[in-house]
Structure 1
Amino acid sequence: MGSVWRGRHLVEGVDVAVKVLTRDGSEAPDVLAAFRSEVRAVARLRHPNVVWVLDHGTVDEDAASASGGELRAGTPYLAMELADGSLSSRVGHCAWPELRATLLALLDALAHAHARGVIHRDLKPG
């Protein structure tokens, strides 16, 4: 449905993950509706183990030009707090108590999302 870019939020001054619909997706009404629904769902989650939505909107002409043809002006985007690293690098060689604490924190975040009707359809190891 989209690609994720690393960017910098100019107002907040922090690195962000920017999810942008693909060119094809931005033209399909059902994909566009699903993306907008995702933005609304993720934006209402407030939990210490869930990345925060910092911004959303549409790609402007300057960003589209700077992307070398990868992005098209008017395409929706979602800018979220950047979570660097991976779960496997974080817990790869840790002791069971640390691994258990990390997994419980992850499950707590999922429970928070599920309690609000948000289902994460893109969980993957690593």
Structure 2
Amino acid sequence: MAIDGEAARRIDREDLHADKRANATILIEKQRWVYKQYKFYTQQLQRAVGLIQDDDERKAVNYRYMQGYSYKETLLFFRHGLSGSTIRRKIAEGTESMANTLKLMGFFEQDAADY
């Protein structure tokens, strides 16, 4: 039981023993860094969705990806005259617009960041 507890407190597998106080400090700092990265990515994605010019494209991408609805559920939001293929095209064009916006923002260069 002591070995499991000792191994659970280690930050890296290379550590021979766990220093509870130092590892707790490192873990807290790492959690803050991860949250900061998450917050940055979320804000950039929301900004990119907001910059989609076409209203139907923006709504389709928002329902499908930002709010997490399935494709069928997204179709239900647009049953006022748009066909399934049109909605599929709106989602594809909206995601392309988002990708271009994110590329201009330098979003994809942030992936190389390490703690």
- TM-score normalized with structure 2 length: 0.36
Greater strand share, structure number: 1
TM-score normalised over the length of structure 1: 0.34
Q: Of the two, which has the highest radius of gyration?
A: 2
